[in-house]
C-alpha cells in the first residue's frame, strides 16, 4: 500500500468516524469512548503531519476537548453530576483529568450493593487503567505536535490520578498490583483482578509523560510521577509477560517500541526488561499462530483485536533499528539479537491482517458494523501508525 493510498483510506475512515460520533460537524449527541478516541487523536495528528491540513489538527484538539467534557464528568443517568474530580466548573475545566476519565460504556456502572455479572460488566461504565494510559499517550502526542504543554500537564495529572486510584496495596502500604477496573469516582474496584500488563503499561506511559513535561520551556509546577514510576518498576521485575491474545501482543510490542525510545534515561534495568518483553512477544506470537486463530471464519473473529496486533507489529523494524543504532544503551546486543531477529519476519503478518479486514470496512458489512467505531479507527492506525508508535520526537520533527 503506497503512502498516498494509505492516507486516502485513513481520511475516509476518520471522516466517517468524526461525523458518526458527533465530532465534526459538532453534534449535541456526542458518542465518546476513551480507547477509540485515544487512537483517533493520534490518527488526526498523523493526517495533519501528512497533509498539512489544519482541519485535522483542529479535529484532534476538538476531540480532546470533547473527551474531557464528556468522559471527565458523570453520566447524564448518574445521580451525581459535574466533574468526576469534584472540582467546581472553572477549576474542573482547567484540570479535566484530575478525577480520571470514564470508559464511555453503554450502561452505567453497577451499584455498590449489586452482584457482579461477568458478562454484563463488559458493557458497564467505570474506569480502566489501560484506557487511561492510552489517553495519556494521546495527550503526549498532542503536546509535541501542537507545542501546547498544557496537554502534557493534563497527561501527568491523569497519571497521578490513575496511580492513586488503581494501585492495590498490602496491609503495610506496599504496592502489590493494579486493579483491572474501578468505579467512576475511583472509590471501589469493580473488577478486583490484576491486569496482566497494566504495571508495565503504566511504568512506560508514566515515563513518557515525564519525558514530555521535561521538555516544557517553563517550570509550571507540574506533578512529578517519579514515585509512581518507581513503584510500578518494582512490579515489573522478573515477570512473565507472555500472552497469545492478539490485542495484548500488540500492546507488548507498542510498549517495547516506547521503551526503546526512553531507554537512554539511565535506568539500569531497562535493557533486561526489554529483553524479557521481546521474549514474551516471540513466545506469544508462536502460540498465537500455532492456535490457527487466523484460519477461523471471519464471523468468529474480532477485527479490532487483530488490528491491535497489526499496529504493534509495525514497531518491529523501528525497535530493531533503535537497538542497532545505539547498541551501547541496550546492554548486550548479543543477548537481544537472537530474539529481535526471530521477531522481525513477523512484521509481514501486519499487512496480512490489514489485507484481510480492509475489504470488510464498508457500511453494509454486518461483521464490521458490530464494532464500527473501534474497527475504523484502529484500521486507520494500522495503515499509518507512525504518530501512534512515537514518543514525540518523530512527530514534532515532521510537523509544520
Q: What is the pLDDT of residues 234-293, one digit of tens each?
A: 999 989 999 999 999 999 999 999 998 888 666 778 888 999 999 999 999 999 999 999
The one-character DSSP state at 169 is E
Q: Is residue 163 part of a domain?
A: yes
pLDDT at 222: 65
Q: What is the pTM of this model?
A: 0.95
The more confidently predicted of residues 329 and 362 is 362
Q: What is the Cα–Cα distance from 1 to 9, expressed in whole angstroms?
A: 10
Backbone angles phi, psi at 340, to 5 degrees: -60, -40
Say whether 318 sits in a helix, a strand or coil. helix
How far apart are the C-alpha atoms of 216 and 222, rounded to whole Å? 10
Among residues 133, 95, 134, 128, which one has the least CA distance to residue 223? 95
Give the whole-angstrom CA distance, residue 48 versus residue 145. Answer: 9
Count other C-beta atoms under 10 Å from residue 59's C-beta: 24
pLDDT in tens, 25-78: 888 888 999 999 999 999 999 999 999 999 999 999 999 999 999 999 999 999
Residue 152 lies in a domain: yes
Q: What CA–CA distance (Å, rounded) separates 82 from 85?
A: 8
On whether residue 35 sits in a domain, the answer given is no
CB-CB contact of 104 with 83 (8 Å) = no
* pLDDT value for 261: 86
- Grid cell of 153 as nine digits: 500537564
Task: Examine residue 3 and state whether it is found in any structural domain, yes or no.
Answer: no
Angstrom distance (rounded) from CA 202 to CA 376: 26
The residue-averaged pLDDT of 281-306 equals 96
* Largest Cα–Cα separation, the chain: 59
The answer to the question of residue 200 being in a domain is: yes
Q: Give the total number of structural domains in the chain.
A: 1
Structural domain harbouring 177: 122-238
Q: Which regions of the chain does DSSP assign to beta strands (E)?
A: 127-128, 167-169, 175-182, 189-194
* Peptide linkage before 276 cis (omega within 30 of 0): no
Residue 225 belongs to some domain of the structure: yes
CA distance 71 to 188: 18
- Give yes or no for a cis peptide into 25 (omega within 30° of 0): yes
Residue 313 in contact with residue 267, Cβ under 8 Å? no
Cα 385 from chain centre: 12
Domain assignment present for residue 396? The answer is: no
Helix, strand, coil percentages in the chain from 3-state DSSP, rounded to 5: 60, 5, 30
Q: How confident is the model at residue 309 (pLDDT cuts 50, 70, 90)?
A: very high
Closest Cα partner for 208 from 132, 282, 276? 132
| Contacts (Cβ under 8 Å, ≥6 apart) of 73 | 81, 82, 83, 84, 92
Task: Flag whether pLDDT at 360 surpasses 60.
Answer: yes
Instruction: Round the average pLDDT of the chain to a whole number and report it.
Output: 92
Residue 180, all three cell numbers: 483491572
Which range has the worst mean pLDDT, 35-39, 52-56, 304-308, 361-365?
361-365
d(CA 213, CA 228) in angstroms, rounded, equals 16
Residue 247 included in any domain: no
Amino acid at each position: 500500500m503506497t503512502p498516498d493510498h494509505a492516507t486516502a483510506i485513513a481520511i475516509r475512515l476518520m471522516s466517517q468516524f468524526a461525523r458518526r460520533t458527533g465530532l465534526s460537524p459538532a453534534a449535541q449527541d456526542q458518542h465518546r469512548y476513551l480507547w477509540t478516541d485515544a487512537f483517533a487523536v493520534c490518527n488526526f495528528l498523523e493526517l495533519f503531519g501528512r497533509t498539512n491540513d489544519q482541519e485535522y489538527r483542529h479535529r484532534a484538539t476538538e476531540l480532546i476537548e470533547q473527551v474531557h467534557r464528556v468522559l471527565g464528568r458523570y453520566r447524564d443517568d448518574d445521580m451525581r453530576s459535574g466533574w468526576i474530580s469534584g472540582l467546581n466548573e472553572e477549576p474542573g475545566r482547567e484540570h479535566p483529568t484530575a478525577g480520571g476519565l470514564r470508559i464511555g460504556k453503554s450502561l452505567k456502572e453497577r451499584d455498590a450493593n449489586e452482584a457482579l455479572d461477568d458478562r454484563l460488566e463488559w458493557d458497564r461504565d467505570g474506569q480502566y487503567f489501560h484506557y487511561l494510559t492510552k489517553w495519556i499517550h494521546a495527550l503526549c502526542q498532542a503536546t509535541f505536535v501542537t507545542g501546547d504543554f498544557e496537554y502534557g500537564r493534563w497527561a501527568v495529572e491523569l497519571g497521578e490520578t490513575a496511580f492513586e486510584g488503581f494501585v492495590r496495596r498490602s496491609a503495610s502500604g506496599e504496592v502489590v498490583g493494579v486493579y483491572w477496573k474501578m468505579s467512576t469516582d475511583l472509590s471501589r474496584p469493580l473488577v478486583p483482578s490484576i491486569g496482566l500488563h497494566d504495571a508495565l503499561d503504566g511504568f512506560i506511559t508514566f515515563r513518557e509523560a515525564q519525558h514530555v513535561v521535561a521538555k516544557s520551556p517553563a517550570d509550571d509546577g507540574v506533578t512529578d510521577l517519579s514515585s509512581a514510576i518507581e513503584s510500578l518498576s518494582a512490579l515489573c521485575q522478573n515477570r512473565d509477560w507472555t500472552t497469545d491474545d492478539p490485542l495484548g501482543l500488540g500492546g507488548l510490542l507498542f510498549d517495547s517500541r516506547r521503551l526503546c525510545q526512553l531507554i537512554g534515561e539511565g535506568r539500569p534495568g531497562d535493557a533486561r526488561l526489554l529483553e524479557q518483553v521481546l521474549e514474551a512477544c516471540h513466545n506469544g506470537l508462536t502460540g498465537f499462530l500455532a492456535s490457527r486463530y487466523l484460519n477461523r471464519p471471519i464471523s468468529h473473529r474480532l477485527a479490532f483485536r487483530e488490528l491491535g496486533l497489526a499496529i504493534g507489529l509495525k514497531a518491529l523494524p523501528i525497535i530493531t533499528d533503535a537497538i542497532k543504532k545505539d547498541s551501547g544503551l541496550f546492554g548486550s546486543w548479543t543477548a537481544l539479537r537472537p530474539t529481535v531477529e526471530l521477531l522481525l519476519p513477523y512484521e509481514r503478518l501486519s499487512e496480512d491482517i490489514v489485507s484481510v479486514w480492509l475489504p470488510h470496512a464498508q457500511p453494509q458489512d454486518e461483521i464490521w458494523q458490530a464494532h464500527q467505531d473501534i474497527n475504523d479507527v484502529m484500521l486507520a492506525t494500522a495503515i499509518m501508525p507512525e504518530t501512534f508508535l512515537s514518543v514525540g520526537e518523530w512527530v514534532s520533527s515532521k510537523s509544520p
